Structures are given as structure tokens and as C-alpha cells.
């Protein structure tokens, strides 16, 4: 296992490496239609291996009412993606493997495979995220530099402004860029030099997107959950009302991460968002010591992985047609909890879970997180 | 009973008026040597009336080891002070009387008599204190004006800068100036016009000091406890590190009052103190609504008066000489708790309290608040 050298040390779970065959199967599964991180987790829990899940996909989707069969990623395609990635120095890693950030692995929508480029040891060190407005470069430099000196890895989004300043100021201490697109689609492209500098100096870049994936607007919030999720806490340096950084902060809070905010005068609109965060319970930061002191007690704590509603439970028997009709009838566009579905349907939890999985693989169900589902 | 007209209404305790004789006796008692607010309260609790306490003073002080007899304020002198005060429109009021701020009466060192000038009805309305640096006039104007519009009385210290701005902006809604000297010794003297304007417009001024008392440096912290104590909460608008406003804020917290602080950029030294207060748990304020929302639930709550360690308990028998020697032997310059004294001496609580009262009236004991005492 890779271990950080000196500086603060985060709790690290025991690691295990996938076989090449299992890595290919897992990549095939997550690249198949209607399989997102939560469904992946559910399928792996039900069937034990990605291979077994892949074999059952067509049947499950058909029962869920799929009108045309979803695409299943082939073994050759997956192998080609792994090979192409490796040529770029990118490894696809599963939660629990060396180089997969251990805090990120605790999310219930953690990427089943994460494309990691750079220094795996850096990914095992405690990380603090820095986000904020594009103009907050000065403060970004200050906090990022001091966090690096305190032994923390600074994680951010490689964007213009604060992200860029935070990465630059923490080059010496190690910094991680989280990409919204594939590793070969750097956005903005003028930051390719910055990324190169990061990778040269103990840093790393991560993405859950395939090579060749150009980032779209909707990929950024999705990416932001990785920034907050991989960190012990998120520092919001400046944020106006309704700024994107506030969404990242909310996500961080939902993920159980610390939220830090730098205050400002009520007369300064650039501080409206951070002041609001503090009102809502974020820790006020004027000094890096405020951040370090707050995360120190967490560092020692063992990392808790989500129990996973289905992880250890097999699929008990096949639902009957009337089960499917009844459970599907209880679903609509308004999210309902799985607990309520079990209660209202009178079916066993295992039957309800199976019907939901079938609907999901048929592209008819959306999981909202927090155990809520809705029909598409 | 006077009641506020419209606007938020604070919980008001039942009121009772003193007889003129009792008012004179109480003024004599608080004007006598070694009798501060806490001793006054203790004596009144022990002896039932100020008159009875006055009669026992010389004897108690002698037993406490007074080397020369302390001065006891005469009836003529007290009557003359009351008369001179009334000529200025100043009434000396006891806790529980109309015009004595009901929150102030809850302090364990509430002034036994408070010199009140101006509109007694204003004193019965809910008050918010505004303090801060001398330069914070702009913000002082904003918050004070809006608090006045929301129906709150703004209480402050008539000083230059923020106090002045807060009083001016809240003239229409009613504002209260708390003086560090006597009512005829306005400091700074150039604010006599401001005080006149306050008194003309539903406002009031209060002091616990006798007429003719010119304020000294040590009177200001003492005065500040009245500003925080009479209020529902204290708003600190701007405060550098180690500023006097922070002492007022700490006092407010000890008194169980809300503490509000206006944040600022970490780069602005004028915000260092307020940012620190927020770190320590003060409510961040960017808007008057933050203040109003926080105090709204308190307004309805019944006002709790301190139980008072001695209030309802008579002096049981006289301590023997060996009790005095033993209890005095346990005392020193380091404050000890009265509970510990009772435990260590083995004497009854009533005996310990009596010995302490004797020592106090002899000018040999200091009460620190929180049930702590030390030998002078």
C-alpha cells in the first residue's frame, strides 16, 4: 500500500487490486446503457461480480419493459479503452484500490471506476477542496499555499480564476485536478500547461469520463461531487448569491464533508454567498489554522463506507407480473422513497428492489439519492 | 403599568412601586461604603428591608474586622439626591418598577436603583444594543435605522462614532443612552445636544451613578454591563482584535444575551474581532432580519430573575468567633467558590454567608460573580 511521507495522514482503508479480467468487466458494466454509479453498485451487490451482472442485464431490462435492448459495452471496446488510457498514463481504478481516493470511495454514487493520472501516493493523502468565484485568485493563492505547507493536498477543478490560483499555489505540496471531461479533453484547453505542471510535481488528475468525452454544462455539477467527495472539506473563498460554488458546498454538506467559508463585508456582493453559508452552519475561515483545526479530529476517524441498501442481499426469487404492475403503478414523476414503496405495495423489500432494478435498466427509472426513485 | 404601543412587545414582569421612605432607605444603603449591587441584594434578602439592613450595617462591618467604621449615607443626603435628580427629570427606580428595564432587572448585579430620565414607556420596549468601533458609523446608521423601523429600541453608550450614529438613526423609533457618569456629567460634552434630541423623541437615558459623578476610565466597562444587560442582544458592527466592544460582547454572552456580529474580509483588520466572535458562536449578521429573527423567540419567553443565593434565607444565628477565623483562613486573593467554602469549613451555608457579608461590609471581601469570592 502506498503511504504518504510526513504531514497529516488520513485514515486509509485496506486495499485490494482487481484482476485485469474483472477490471474489463467492470468497465463494460459502467459503460452499458442505463448503468450509473448507483445501479452499478446495486448490480454488483446482487450478482457478486460484474461478469454475472453483465449476463443478466438484457433479461432484467426486458422485464423492466425496455422497448429496445440497451447497448452493452463489449469486452474488446473496454479493453481498447483501458489500453488507450494507459498510453496516456491513466489508470482506471476501483474503490479500495491504491490510488483511488479513500474519501471518494465512501460516496453512494462513487465512480465504480475512476481514471487516475499522476502520483497515486498524493491521492492517498488528506485533501482539502478550494472553490469560489473566478475573481478570488488572491485569497485562493493564500489559502492553497498555506494548506500545502500544512501538508494537505489541494483539490480543485482546473477552471479559470480561483481553481487555477489554488492549483498553482499548491504545486509544491501536491494538488489534484478533477476533470469534467475525459483526460484527453482538458477544459479550458489553455490550462494544459498547468495540468502538466501539476503532474510533474507530485500532483494528479482524475475523471470518471471516458477518453474523448468533451465536457458539457451538465458534466460540471456531476464533476463537482467528486471535488467535494474526495476531500475532507470544501473551502468556499468567495461566492455571490446563487453561485455554482454554493451548489458544491451544499453537495459537500450532503456528503458529510466539512464546509468552510471566508466571510466578507455585507456591502460586498462577492461575499453574499459565503456569509450565507456561515449563517447556515459553515465554519468561518479567516486563517488556514481554522481549516486545519477543524479537520484534525476527522483525520483519525475510520472511514465509513455506505451500508448500501442492497449490497449484501441477493435477489430473492423473481417478481411476478402482478408485482411489477403494482409497484410500477405506485411510481410516477414525483420521487418516492423505496421504504414507502415497500410499505404501500406489501411486496417484500427484495421484490421491490428487483423491480426497481429492472425498471432502471430499461431506462424507465431515475434514482435521486437518499433512497428516492421516480419514473421517467 | 406602561405598555408599548404597537411593534414587538417584550415579556414584562409585574410591577410594584416603592414608597418614598423605602426609596430613600434603598438609596442610603447603596450609597453606603462597601455596598455594591450584589451586597445590596444580599442584605435585602437577609433583612427584608433596606431600613433593617442599614441598622445592622455597623455591627456587621465590625464583626467582619472593619478597623474604622464605614460611612453610612444619611437620610437627608439621600433625600437631597432624590430631589436634585427630580429637578433634572431623573427618577431613581428599583427593579420591578415601571421604567426600570425588565431585562436589566434580571442581572445578579443589577443596579438596586437606576437613574432614569426620559420616556418610561420606551424603557419597557425590547431593546437591541449596538456597539463597535468609532469608525463604523455607516453600518451603525444602517442597522440602527432598520431596527427602529422594526420596532426595537436601540441602546448604546452615547460615545463618538458608532454610538452616536446608532442613536441618531434610531431617534424616531426610540433610543436609550447609557451613561458612565451622572446625568449631569455627560461625556463627551459635545453630545449634550444629541442627548437632548433623544429625550425629545421618546428616548431615554439611564445611569447608576450619582449626580455630579464625572466618568472615569473604569466606569465604562461597568456601564457596558448595563448596555448589554438591558438588551435582548448586542450587535457588534466592527471590532478590531482586543477592542473594547469585544469585552461588551463577552459580558453579553455571560449575561445570557444574544451576541451578533457583522463579518468582514479577513484582509480588513476592522473585522478581525467580529469574525472572531462569529467563530466563537456569535450570530452572523448581514441584515437586520438576522437580528429580528434571532430575538423573536426570546420576546415571548418569561423573564427569569436570578434565584439569588441568599434572597429568601434569613441569617440563622450569629457565627461564633471560631467560625469567622476558620472561614477567613480559607480565603485569599485567589477567588474560591462559596460552595467550596461551605464544604471545606464544615459550617452551615447560613453561617458562611453571614461571615462573608460581614467581611464584605468591612471592605475586606470582593465578590467576583459566579459565586466566587476573594479576600482583598
Cis, bond preceding A188 (omega within 30 deg of 0): yes
- For residue range B164-193, list pLDDT tens digits in order: 999 999 999 999 999 999 999 999 999 999
- When pLDDT is cut at 50, 70 and 90, the band that residue A10 belongs to is confident
What average pLDDT score do residues B17-40 get? 94
Q: Which residues of A touch B268 (CB under 8 A)?
A: 265
DSSP states of B230-287: TSSEEEE----TT-HHHHHHHHHHHTT-EEEE----TT-GGGHHHHHHHHTTPEE-SS
What gap in Å lies between CA B280 and CA B266, rounded to an integer? Answer: 16
What gap in Å lies between CA B237 and CA B130, rounded to an integer? Answer: 7
- For residue range A38-79, list pLDDT tens digits in order: 899 989 988 999 999 999 999 999 988 888 778 999 999 999
Question: Range with the lowest mean pLDDT among A2-16, A279-293, B350-364?
Answer: A2-16
Residue B313 has pLDDT above 60, yes or no: no
- For residue range A204-221, list pLDDT tens digits in order: 999 999 999 999 999 999
What is the dihedral angle through the alpha carbons of B86, B88, B89, B94, rounded to the nearest 10 degrees?
A: -60
| Average pLDDT over chain B, rounded to an integer | 89
- For residue range B324-338, list pLDDT tens digits in order: 999 999 999 889 999
Q: With an 8 Å Cβ cutoff, are A265 and B264 in contact?
A: yes
- Taking residue B313's Cβ as centre, other Cβ atoms within 10 Å add up to 14
- When pLDDT is cut at 50, 70 and 90, the band that residue B307 belongs to is very low
- For residue range B108-130, list pLDDT tens digits in order: 899 999 999 999 899 999 999 99
Residue from A202, A204, A234 nearest A6 by CA? A202
Q: With an 8 Å Cβ cutoff, are B287 and A266 in contact?
A: yes
- When pLDDT is cut at 50, 70 and 90, the band that residue A14 belongs to is low
- For residue range B87-107, list pLDDT tens digits in order: 999 999 999 999 999 999 999
- For residue range A109-151, list pLDDT tens digits in order: 999 999 999 998 999 999 999 999 888 777 778 898 899 999 9
Interface test with B, best of A275, A280, A292 (most B CBs within 10 A): A275
Residue A4 has pLDDT above 50, yes or no: no
What is the dihedral angle through the alpha carbons of B107, B113, B119, B122, rounded to the nearest 10 degrees?
A: 10
Residue from A156, A179, A186, A178 nearest A169 by CA? A156
What's residue A142's pLDDT?
85
Q: Is residue A352 within 8 Å of A315, Cβ to Cβ?
A: no
Is B35 or A306 the better-scoring residue by pLDDT? B35
What's residue B11's pLDDT?
64
Q: Which residues of A touch B271 (CB under 8 A)?
A: 263, 265
- For residue range B202-238, list pLDDT tens digits in order: 899 999 999 999 999 999 999 999 999 999 999 999 9
Q: With an 8 Å Cβ cutoff, are A264 and B262 in contact?
A: no
Nearest CB partner across the interface for B286, out of A275, A286, A290: A275
Interface test with A, best of B265, B267, B280 (most A CBs within 10 A): B265
- When pLDDT is cut at 50, 70 and 90, the band that residue A229 belongs to is very high
In this prediction, does ipTM exceed 0.90? no
What gap in Å lies between CA B91 and CA A371, rounded to an integer? Answer: 66
Residue A315 has pLDDT above 60, yes or no: no
Q: How many helices (H) and strands (E) does chain A have?
A: 15, 12
Q: How far is A45 from chain B (nearest CA, A)?
A: 44
What gap in Å lies between CA B91 and CA B102, rounded to an integer? Answer: 16
Burial class (CB in 10 A: 0-12, 13-18, 19+), A321: exposed
Tell me the HSE value of B30 on the side-chain side, using a 13 A CA sphere: 23
Q: How far is A276 from chain B (nearest CA, A)?
A: 9
Main-chain phi, psi angles of B306, to 5 degrees: -65, 145
DSSP states of B86-154: HHTTEEEE-TTSTTS-TTGGGSTT--SSEEEEE-HHHHTS-EEEEE--TTTHHHHHHHHHHHHHTTPEE
- When pLDDT is cut at 50, 70 and 90, the band that residue A368 belongs to is confident
| Chain B nearest-CA residue for A269 | B286
- When pLDDT is cut at 50, 70 and 90, the band that residue B309 belongs to is very low
Q: With an 8 Å Cβ cutoff, are B271 and A265 in contact?
A: yes
Q: Which residues of B touch A285 (CB under 8 A)?
A: 266
Nearest CB partner across the interface for B266, out of A262, A275, A283: A262
Amino acid at each position: 500500500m502506498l503511504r504518504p511521507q510526513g504531514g497529516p495522514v488520513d485514515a486509509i482503508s485496506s486495499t485490494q487490486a482487481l484482476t485485469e479480467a474483472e477490471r474489463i468487466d467492470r468497465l463494460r458494466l459502467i459503460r452499458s446503457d442505463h448503468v450509473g454509479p448507483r445501479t452499478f453498485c446495486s448490480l454488483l451487490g446482487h450478482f457478486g461480480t460484474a461478469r454475472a451482472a453483465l449476463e443478466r442485464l438484457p433479461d432484467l431490462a426486458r422485464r423492466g419493459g425496455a422497448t429496445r435492448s440497451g447497448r452493452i459495452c463489449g469486452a474488446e471496446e473496454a479493453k481498447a479503452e483501458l489500453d488507450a488510457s494507459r498510453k496516456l498514463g491513466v489508470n482506471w481504478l476501483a474503490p479500495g484500490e491504491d490510488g483511488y481516493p479513500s474519501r471518494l470511495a465512501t460516496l453512494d454514487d462513487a465512480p465504480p471506476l475512476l481514471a487516475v493520472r499522476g502520483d497515486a501516493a498524493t491521492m492517498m493523502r488528506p485533501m482539502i477542496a478550494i472553490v469560489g468565484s473566478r475573481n478570488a485568485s488572491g485569497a485562493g493563492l493564500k489559502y492553497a499555499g498555506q494548506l500545502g505547507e500544512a501538508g494537505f493536498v489541494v483539490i480543485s477543478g482546473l477552471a479559470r480564476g480561483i481553481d487555477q490560483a489554488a492549483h498553482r499555489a499548491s504545486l509544491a505540496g501536491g494538488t489534484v485536478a478533477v476533470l469534467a471531461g475525459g483526460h484527453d479533453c482538458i477544459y479550458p484547453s489553455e490550462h494544459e500547461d498547468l495540468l502538466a505542471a501539476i503532474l510533474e510535481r507530485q500532483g494528479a488528475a482524475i475523471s470518471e469520463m471516458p477518453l474523448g468525452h468533451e465536457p458539457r454544462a451538465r458534466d460540471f455539477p456531476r464533476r463537482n461531487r467528486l471535488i467535494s467527495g474526495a476531500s475532507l472539506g470544501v473551502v468556499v473563498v468567495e461566492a455571490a448569491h446563487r453561485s455554482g460554488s454554493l451548489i458544491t458546498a451544499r453537495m459537500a454538506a450532503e456528503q458529510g464533508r466539512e464546509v468552510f467559508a471566508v466571510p466578507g463585508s455585507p456591502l460586498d456582493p462577492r461575499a453574499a454567498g459565503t456569509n450565507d453559508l456561515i449563517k447556515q452552519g459553515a465554519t468561518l475561515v479567516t486563517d488556514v489554522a481554522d481549516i486545519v483545526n477543524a479537520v484534525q479530529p476527522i483525520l483519525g476517524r475510520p472511514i465509513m463506507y455506505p451500508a448500501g441498501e442492497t449490497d449484501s442481499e441477493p435477489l430473492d426469487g423473481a417478481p411476478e407480473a402482478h408485482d411489477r404492475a403494482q409497484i410500477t403503478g405506485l411510481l410516477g414523476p414525483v420521487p418516492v422513497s423505496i421504504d414507502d414503496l415497500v410499505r404501500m405495495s406489501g411486496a417484500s423489500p427484495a421484490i421491490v428492489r428487483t423491480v426497481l432494478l429492472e425498471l432502471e435498466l430499461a431506462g424507465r427509472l431515475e434514482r435521486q439519492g437518499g433512497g428516492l426513485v421516480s419514473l421517467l
